[in-house]
Amino acid sequence: MINKIVQTMADAVAGIRDGAVVLLGGFGNIGQPHALLDGLIEQGAKDLTVVSNNAGVGRTGLARLLDLGRVRKIVCSYPRTADPVVFEELYRAGRIELEIVPQGTMAERIRAAGAGIPAFYTATAVGTKLAAGKEEREINGRKYLLEESLPGDVALVEAWEADRWGNLTYRSSGQNFNPIMATAAQLTIVQAQHVVDLGALDPEKVMTPGIYVNRVVHVPYGDPMVP
């Protein structure tokens, strides 16, 4: 019997290695797997590369992981949020590497990784300083940049519902990066608000088929209280 449901947070985050590339779902606070982040903080892996749209808010979650010096590099589109104190301190002190990626290019690089596409051309960022070092090619009269896919060793995902095969649904704008990150890592770990019986999910509503998912932990925390 396949059962991807794990009973403890320690089991959920077991085996994340030092130096891992961690894909972290969420946009702002919505759809961000805070319990898994806390689990990762507890677990101890360091020298991490974190791929996340934002660079953490306040001093909890991702910001705490940064604050503890566990992240070598962050790949994101928008490190500037309402309260990115920890990231800005580290960045100004030269203690963290930053790779800025346009948000759509970041999403497509992750999607491409999950779909087995090593690189693709996009018009985004042509002629800007984010084009530095990238191959530029003209196709049908328009200029494009070659962007490489962005796979992870680990994906940390928040879902709304999950079953023991790892089939997932998401809640409204809580989808954001979660479904694509779930496809793009060697080890996909999910925290789910609701764990349901196999067969309870309408197959037409499954947004991430279980093939992409390795572990599910039940974290029924309710609604995110800040956006």
Partner 1 sequence: MSLFAACKPLSRNDMAERLARDIPEGWYVNLGIGAPLKVADYVPMEREVIFQSENGVLGMGPVPDPEKIDRWLINAGKQYVTLRPGGSYMHHADSFALIRGGHLDLCVLGAFQVAENGDIANWSMSDNDSAPAVGGAMDLAAGARQLWVIMDHQTKSGESRLVRRCSYPLTAIGAVTRVYTNLAVLDVTPDGFVVRDVVPGLTLEALQQVTDAPLRMAAKNS
Contact 111, 180 (CB under 8 A): yes
x/- string (CB under 8 A) for partner 1, residues 8-47?
Answer: -------------------xxxxx----------------
Smallest distance from the beta carbon of 91 to partner 1, in angstroms? Answer: 5
Nearer to partner 1, 5 or 112 (CB): 112
Answer for which of 17, 59, 80, 137 binds partner 1 (CB under 8 A) is 80
Got the DSSP string for 165-226?
A: T--EE--GGG-TTHHHHHHSEEEEEEEEEEE--TT-S-GGG-SB-GGG--EEEE----S-S-
Write the burial class of residue 164 (CB in 10 Å: 0-12 exposed, 13-18 middle, 19+ buried): middle
Residues 42-61 binding partner 1 (CB under 8 A) are 53, 55
x/- string (CB under 8 A) for partner 1, residues 84-113?
Answer: x--xx--xx-----x-xxxxxx-xx-xx--
174 binds partner 1 (CB under 8 A): yes
CA angle 204, 207, 213 (to 5 degrees): 125
Write the burial class of residue 177 (CB in 10 Å: 0-12 exposed, 13-18 middle, 19+ buried): buried
128 binds partner 1 (CB under 8 A): yes
**Contact positions toward partner 1, by CB under 8 A?**
27-31, 53, 55, 77-82, 84, 87-88, 91-92, 98, 100-105, 107-108, 110-111, 122-130, 170-180, 207, 223-225, 227
